[in-house]
Amino acid sequence: MSELFDAVDALVASRSPLPPPAERKRLRAAHGLTIDEVATALKVRRATVSGWESGKTEPRPPEREAYARLLRQLAELYPALVETAAPTPDAAVPATFTAVPAPAEAPTLSTGPAPEAVAMTSTENTQTPSPAPAAAPAAETRPAPAARTSSTSRRPAAKKAAPANTPAGGTDPRFENGPLAVLDVEDGKVLAYCTGGLVLDVPAKSLPSLVDWTLKQAKLGQPKLVGPGKDADPLIVLTEAALERYGLPAKLTDEERLAGRLPEGHKVAKQLARAEWKLTKRGLGPWARIYRPAQGTERACVQLCIPSWDALDTRHWNDAAQLPPAELARLLGTYAARVITPRGSTAVTGLELMTAFHPATRASEPDAVGRRHSEHNPGGLGTDPVDCAPCEAPDGHPLLADLPRFHQRTPAEMLMEEAYDWARPLTDDECLRRNLVGIDVNMAFAAGANGLVVGLGAPTHVKAPVFDPKLPGSWLVDLSHVDLSRVKSGKEWVRLNGDLLPSPFTPKGNQPEGPAWYATPTVAYAVELGYDVAPIEAYVRYENGRYLDAWYGRLRDAYLATMADLGVGADLAPQEFLAAMNGYRDRDPEMAIVVSAVKATVKGGIGKLRERPRGEGWKSGQPWRALSRPTWRPDIRAAVISRTRINMHRKILKHAAFTGQYPVAILSDCALYAVDGTSPLDFLPYREGKPLPGGWKLGVNPGLVKHEGTQTVLWGEGVREQHGGDLNLARYIKDGNITHTDGEE
């Protein structure tokens, strides 16, 4: 009889009920678990768990019962407030993107013909994921004109309604009008242009009353990304006309721009103070946060963005500040839906996105009387900053206060993990080639962050350690013995022309001359090339994890979705990809700006991990403001840059070993080759449509490459002769303009 019972139990277990794929992913993320952690616990491969979360496969016994048990326990801790949205694929290349309905197809907010402006008066407390990204560019449409009624304010359709592929507001009733609004004044009335083409009448007559209206009636904001996180505060963008209406200057004076804010005694700042609203240390500047101290779990905070005060840096947002209100709402709304509501510069937003996925604290289990308390959130950086290792500290750091003045630290004293800036003279054979062709790695630093294990806590100093490639840290080790003319590729030794290759261990590509500090990925690469390493000392971090995985996934998906809007899909063949990239920015200039902003969020977020002093009356040896942040982590920045540089060098070696071709210049994520053709397809070794394994591959995904530019060899030699032989031609390959200084598109 017991055998029959066991058989029945096994039969029931084989059909253990499971939540939808999207809910599986939500529950895992809410508890701060990575796919690898779940896979290890269930003794399956990472790809297996990824397939379960994407809905591509379903678990089978005996793993199904254990997986169902895990999800049931997580569901008790993190109950879903509403039905979850469609899942985001965990694979590197999403198969499809779900399109957002055009405003005309969205549910109407009241009876009547296609309302374009509706006054909102109530708020609720339900949560939902942000809308899915759009699949492809859509033609601009305008809602039909709506008549005015006594209870609702309407605007004619001719007033620049947003295009149809603008992300609509989420289904969370609290934030049903989207994450943000752009305020403008027309015919004497203040209008709030929201995402999805919605326009609201704004009754507020002053800035304090505008903050009240935003929090109580506007229904703006964005749900949190993970369970322990916080909902994004509503963002209000003020045009010059709106600034004038609320008593603010259209432009800052030179003195105010230098200070980054209006004086504390400005009349509007006094209005806020009288209404008991507070400003952060930023003050009333381009990105102002207006708040009242939180009461329990209720936040009362509104973010202001003022484009005419240079809130939208033209290096990253191009001419977004000059767009009409509806189009600016569409652009910023797309970025908010796919990345996060902007909270400052792209660098600040990139850093905030890391924290949004890994908040410092979470709610504990109920105690004996049923109360929950704040506790450390596993996988986060905590609430308190940690000291870096002395070798990781930039010049001027308090840890270096005892160094002699003007002391120049050597590689044996300072961790110098930076991106490539290397060039060499052309060989005689290369001078006979016709062209220089540049290839650029897409989202190179994001790809370098993917799957990277980084330290989460303070470093531990170790003398004469045994190198562990899985342990993040900084290692003092001599790598000068690594000979690039003889390296290991898999299990075999390969002969190369080491004189034509940059060293993978230094940003300038020169061979190390003795012991130097390196991040873990750099030392691990020396071992991969077949050479022994013997660290002298190290600062290692035993508390570690894949802190940047979710951050990378969000930015990857945002980049791919927006490139798909521009007609560059993830599944294009190499020739089709090159054709699609030709002039892609002109297909939808606003979405092209979103692409630039996403890329700037990656680079800026990584750079912000080692933010330097920004004025503030700072003196060398004294602490500066950024050091008080838990997210001031130069070791994480160094590890990402190290991994990115090593990824690039690995592809260079694979390509050289197979083709005999060597780069003539490398700048950050751009590599330059001397070839006879004009296209990457003229020298990248594709066979039957398949790229060289481990080498360069054309495509839109992060880590793959695109065509950066082509110039003649004669141009290159002429430039080097005129401007000096050390000039890095990769910096100017895009358009040949020597005044051009940005090597990344």
Instruction: Describe the chain by its helix, strand, coil percentages, rounded to 5.
Output: 35, 15, 50
End-to-end CA distance of the chain: 71
Weakest-pLDDT range from 45-49, 335-339, 676-680: 45-49
How high is the pLDDT of residue 297? 63
Categorize the per-residue pLDDT at 298 as very low, low, confident or very high, splitting at 50, 70 and 90. confident
Q: Which residue has the higher pLDDT, 621 or 172?
A: 621
How high is the pLDDT of residue 467? 97
Phi and psi of 511, rounded to 5°?
-70, 135
DSSP conformation letters of 377-390 = -TTS--SS--PPPG
Q: Could you give the CA distance from residue 662 to residue 674 in angstroms, rounded to a whole number?
A: 8
Task: Classify 299 in phi/psi space as left (phi over 0), alpha (psi -120 to 50) or beta.
Answer: beta
- Whole-prediction pTM: 0.78
Residue with tokens 């009889």: 1
Q: Percent of the chain, pLDDT > 90?
A: 66
Number of residues that this document lists for the chain: 745
Answer yes or no: is pLDDT of 141 > 80: no
Answer yes or no: is pLDDT of 703 > 50: yes
1.10.260, 3.30.160, 1.10.3470, 2.60.40: which CATH number matches 2-77?
1.10.260
pLDDT tens figures, 60-74: 888 888 899 899 888
How high is the pLDDT of residue 338? 97
Q: Could you give the CA distance from residue 595 to residue 558 in angstroms, rounded to a whole number?
A: 8
Residue with tokens 């004086």: 263
Check: CB of residue 103 under 8 Å from CB of residue 178. Answer: no
Indicate where the chain has its CATH 1.10.260 domain(s): 2-77
Q: Could you give the CA distance from residue 419 to residue 415 in angstroms, rounded to a whole number?
A: 13
Q: Could you give the CA distance from residue 412 to residue 301 in angstroms, rounded to a whole number?
A: 47
Check: CB of residue 320 under 8 Å from CB of residue 328. Answer: yes
Residue type (1 letter), 151: S
Angle at 641 between CA 637 and CA 646, to 5 degrees: 150
How high is the pLDDT of residue 362? 85
Instruction: Name, in order, each residue with C-beta under 8 angstroms of 683's C-beta and a sequence gap of 6 or more.
Output: 437, 659, 661, 673, 675, 677
Mean pLDDT over 187-211 rounds to 95
Weakest-pLDDT range from 121-130, 233-242, 254-263: 121-130
Q: Which residue has the higher pLDDT, 726 or 115?
A: 726
pLDDT tens figures, 534-587: 999 999 999 999 999 999 999 999 999 999 999 999 999 999 999 999 999 999
Categorize the per-residue pLDDT at 6 as very low, low, confident or very high, splitting at 50, 70 and 90. low
Q: Could you give the CA distance from residue 103 to residue 166 in angstroms, rounded to a whole number?
A: 8
Categorize the per-residue pLDDT at 604 as very low, low, confident or very high, splitting at 50, 70 and 90. very high
Check: CB of residue 178 under 8 Å from CB of residue 220. Answer: yes
Q: Which residue has the higher pLDDT, 71 or 638?
A: 638
Check: CB of residue 264 under 8 Å from CB of residue 256. Answer: no
Q: Could you give the CA distance from residue 396 to residue 95 in angstroms, rounded to a whole number?
A: 48
Categorize the per-residue pLDDT at 438 as very low, low, confident or very high, splitting at 50, 70 and 90. very high
β-pairing, 486-489 vs 492-495, is antiparallel
Categorize the per-residue pLDDT at 37 as very low, low, confident or very high, splitting at 50, 70 and 90. confident
Strand-pair partners of 302: 290
From residue 370, alpha-carbon distances to 31, 362, 366, 409 in Å are: 20, 16, 5, 55
